[in-house]
Amino acid sequence: MAMHPLRSQAATALTLALSLFVLGTAIFGARDALVQRSIFLGLVILVALLRYPLLNGTPWWRLGVAIDAALGLLATASCVWVVLNADTIMNSLPTAGTLHIGMTIVLVVTILDLSRRAIGLIFPAMVAVGLAYALLGQHIPGPLGHRGFDVYFITETLLLSDIGLWGSLLGVAATIIAIFSLFGAFLLHSGGGATFMDLALRVSGRSTGGAAKIATIASGLFGMVSGSAVGNVATTGAFTIPLMKRLGYPASLAGAVEAVASTGGQLAPPIMGAAAFIMAEIIGSDYLSIAAAAALPAALFYWGVFATVHVTAQEEKLGQVPDDQIPAWATILRVDRLASIVLSIAGLTIGILQGMSLQTAAFYGIAGAVAGMFVAAVSQRLQSTSAKKSPPTEKHPNMLAPILRQARSALDEGATGLIIVGILLAGAQILVSMINLTGVGVTLSSMIVGDGNAPVLMIGLVVALVCMIMGMGIPTTAAYVLVAATLAPALIKIGVSPIAAHMFVFYYATLSVITPPVCVGVFVAAGLAGERWVAVARRAVTLGAVTYVIPFLFLLYPLMLTPSFSVGYFEAALSGAIFVASFAYLFGGARVSRWRFVDIAAWLSIAVLATVPTQAGLVLSAMGLALMIWLRHRHRVTSLSCQKAV
C-alpha cells in the first residue's frame, strides 16, 4: 500500500530536519556527546517510523499507525529526557529507577523493531540474544557463563552512561558518517553518477570483456562514495547487467561480476561503508591512516576482479561494447560534467589539508558540489545560448530551480540512507555494550587462541570462518562492529597489529555479502539478471576468490597496511600483485597446456611462492608468472591458428 500523503510529507520534512541538523553539526561543531547523539537518534527514529510503517499493506494498518505513533512519542520523549539531563547523567552517575527502565525498554524495542523492518530479522535477533545473555549468563555453565546482571544495572549501562546506547558508535554515526552520507549524495546528484558511468564506458568499453570491466570500474567509483554493496548493485547493476546480457554474457556471470565489483565499494577508501570512521574510533587511530592502509588492499581487490574478468572474457570469447554506445571523451570531459566532481573533491581535500575536522572538510566538499552545480548550469546556459544564437532580450529558464531540486534530492537521499545506518549502529552499540559488559569477547578470543601455540595462519583461518558466519545476512557496517568486538582481539592477542587485525576481520565480514547461503548482494544481482541466485553465487565466489585470501597477506606482510617508500612496502605490494594475477589466471580458466590439472598446479604454485615473505620467493614467483603468461600466449595463438585452419 502506498504511503499516506500526510505521512509522506511528514517524513520529507523530518528528513530535511535531519539533514539540516547534520549540516549544522559540520558547520558549527558537535554538541556535548549525549546531546548530539540523543537528538540524532530521536530524529532517525521518527523518520524511520514514518518511512517503514508497521503492518503497511495489511488490514491491520490502522493498528500499525497507532503503534508507530506510540513508539515515536515515547522514544522521542526518552531522547528529549536524555538531552535535558545530560549533565546529570555524566556528572552524578544516577542509579536506575522504574522510569529509566521504561525509557530503556522503549528505546531498545523501537530500535530492534525498526532494524527488523529495514533489514530483516537476523540482526535484531542477535542483539536480543546479546541482551538475554547479559541478563541470564549466570545460568550458562562453562567458560561462557558469567555472574549475570540485573535489569537495573543494564539500564544504567545502556541509558545512564556514555558506554551504552549513547556510546562511540552512535557518536560516529551522528557526526562523521552522517555528513559523509550527505557528501556522497551531493556528489552523485550533482551529476557525478552519470559521469562515473560514462567514464567507465569510455575507459574499458572497447577492450576484451569491456561490459564486465565497465561494471567493475563503475561499481568501484560509486562504491568509493557510497560504500554500500547492495546499493551499488542496484544502482550500477540496473545498467551494467542488461548490457552484459545483450552482449552474450551468461546471466550468472553478469550478475556475479556486478555483485563482486560492488562488494569492493565496502573495501575502497574514502568511506568503506562507514567502516573507516568506525575503525578509527575503535582502535584510536585517525581516519587518514585507516584510509591509507586500505588503499593497497583495495587496489589489489579491483586488480584481481579486473584481471579475472579479462581472462574469463578471453577464454569464453565474450563480446565488446558497440562503438555507438561508448561516449566520446569530449562529451565526458565537458566543464558541466566535471565541475561538481572536481570542486567537491577539491573542497574535501582543502578542508583536510587545512587541518579542519572531517565533518567540516566534508561540508567544504558539499559546498564544492553545490558550486559545481552552478558552474554546470552556467556552462549549459552559455552552450545553449551559443547554439541557438538567441537575442539578448530572450528569456531563459531559471537556473536556480533545477539546482534547488538537485540539492533537495541530495539532502533527502543522503538522510534516507543515513536512517538505516543510524538504526543499525544504535543496535550494534547495544550489542557491543553487552559484549563488553559480559566479557564474552575476551572469552571467545581466549577460546580461539587457546594456549597461543597454534600457527598464526591457522588462528586466522578460524577467525575468518567465524567472521563470515557472523556476518551473513547483516549489513557490513553492523557485521564489522560485531566481529571487531568479538574476534579482532583474538588476533591482537597473538601479536597481530590492531590495524591488521581489524582490517582482517573487516574483509571477511564484508565478504559475507557474496558468500552463500545468505548473500544479499548476490540476491539483488540475481534478480536483476533474471537468474537463479545459486548460479550467480557460484560465479561470484569464483570471481572474488582472490579476496578470500588477500587478508592473509596482512598477516604475512604487515607492512602492506603502512604505506611508505620502504623496501618492505614495495615487497608487500609486489607479492600482492603477483598473487592476485596468478589467482586471476587460475579462476579465469587460463590454459597453458592440454591438461587442466597441470594448469591449476602451475598457477597455484606461483600464488604460494608469492606469499613466501622472502626476496627469493618474490623473484621465483615473478619469473614463474612471466613464464606462464608467455606460455599461455603461445597456447592461445596456437589454438586460434588451429581454429582458423578448420
Report how many domains make up the chain.
Answer: 3
Q: Of 130, 163, 196, which residue is a domain's last?
A: 163
User: Mean of the pLDDT values across residues 103-127?
Assistant: 90
Q: Are residues 426 and 310 located together in one domain of the fold?
A: yes
pLDDT for 3: 67
Q: Are residues 142 and 227 located together in one domain of the fold?
A: no
In the chain, the N- to C-terminal Cα span, in Å, equals 62
Q: Are residues 85 and 180 located together in one domain of the fold?
A: no
Cβ-Cβ contacts under 8 Å for 525 (sequence gap 6 or more): 233, 237, 241, 255, 256, 258, 259, 262, 536, 540
Q: Are residues 198 and 305 located together in one domain of the fold?
A: yes
List the one residue out of 185, 187, 181, 228 whose CA is nearest residue 26.
181
Q: Are residues 143 and 186 located together in one domain of the fold?
A: no
State the amino acid at position 637 in one-letter form: V
Q: Are residues 406 and 369 located together in one domain of the fold?
A: yes
Selected residue with higher pLDDT from 227 and 331? 331
What dihedral angle (degrees, nearest 10) is formed by the CA atoms of 485, 491, 496, 499? -30
pLDDT for 505: 92
pLDDT for 643: 59
The answer on pLDDT for 476 being more than 60 is yes
The answer on pLDDT for 489 being more than 80 is yes
Please name the residue that has the C-alpha cell 530535511: 16
pLDDT for 81: 95
User: Mean of the pLDDT values across residues 524-543?
Assistant: 87
Does a structural domain hold residue 526? no
Q: Are residues 112 and 156 located together in one domain of the fold?
A: yes
pLDDT classification of 397: cutoffs 50, 70, 90: low
Q: How far apart are CA 600 and CA 592, in angstroms?
A: 10
The answer on pLDDT for 226 being more than 80 is no
The answer on pLDDT for 210 being more than 80 is no
Residue pair 583/549 in contact (Cβ under 8 Å)? The answer is: yes
Dihedral sign, Cα of residue 208, residue 209, residue 211, residue 216: negative
pLDDT, tens only, 587-641:
888 888 778 888 889 899 998 888 887 888 888 999 999 998 898 888 777 766 6
Q: Of 163, 185, 202, which residue is a domain's last?
A: 163
Does a structural domain hold residue 38? yes
pLDDT for 46: 95
Selected residue with higher pLDDT from 19 and 238? 19
Q: Are residues 233 and 327 located together in one domain of the fold?
A: yes
The answer on pLDDT for 41 being more than 70 is yes
The answer on pLDDT for 122 being more than 60 is yes
Q: Are residues 227 and 181 located together in one domain of the fold?
A: yes
Q: How far apart are CA 462 and CA 469, in angstroms?
A: 11
Q: How far apart are CA 486 and CA 352, in angstroms?
A: 33
User: Mean of the pLDDT values across residues 148-158?
Assistant: 91
Does a structural domain hold residue 392? no
Does a structural domain hold residue 339? yes
Q: Are residues 320 and 231 located together in one domain of the fold?
A: yes
List the one residue out of 51, 48, 35 whose CA is nearest residue 3.
51
Rg of the Cα trace of the chain?
26
pLDDT classification of 511: cutoffs 50, 70, 90: confident
The answer on pLDDT for 444 being more than 90 is no
Q: Are residues 94 and 207 located together in one domain of the fold?
A: no
pLDDT for 66: 93
Domain range for 587: 557-645
Angle 511-516-518 from CA coordinates, rounded to 5°:
85
Q: How far apart are CA 428 and CA 164, in angstroms?
A: 10
For the residues of 20-47, what is the DSSP string, one character each? HHHHHHHHH----HHHHHHHHHHHHHHH
List the one residue out of 248, 19, 282 whose CA is nearest residue 169.
282
pLDDT for 319: 65
Q: Of 109, 135, 163, which residue is a domain's last?
A: 163
For the residues of 332-373, what is the DSSP string, one character each? HT-HHHHHHHHHHHHHHHHHHHTT--HHHHHHHHHHHHHHHH
Does a structural domain hold residue 241? yes
Angle 504-507-508 from CA coordinates, rounded to 5°:
90
pLDDT for 395: 53
Residue pair 247/208 in contact (Cβ under 8 Å)? The answer is: no
pLDDT, tens only, 270-289:
767 677 788 888 888 888 88
Q: Across 36-45, 143-152, 316-325, 520-529, which has the greatest mean pLDDT?
A: 36-45
Do you know the residue count of the chain? Answer: 646
pLDDT, tens only, 330-353:
888 888 888 888 898 888 888 877
Dihedral sign, Cα of residue 59, residue 62, residue 67, residue 71: positive
pLDDT, tens only, 64-86:
999 999 999 999 999 999 999 99
Selected residue with higher pLDDT from 22 and 205? 22
Q: What is the mean pLDDT of the chain?
A: 84
pLDDT for 80: 96
Selected residue with higher pLDDT from 554 and 239? 554
How far, in whole angstroms, is CA 10 from its chain's centroid?
Answer: 29
pLDDT for 638: 73
In percent, how much of the chain has pLDDT > 90? Answer: 19
Q: Are residues 16 and 153 located together in one domain of the fold?
A: yes
| Choice among 63-72, 111-120, 312-321, 532-541 with the minimum mean pLDDT | 312-321
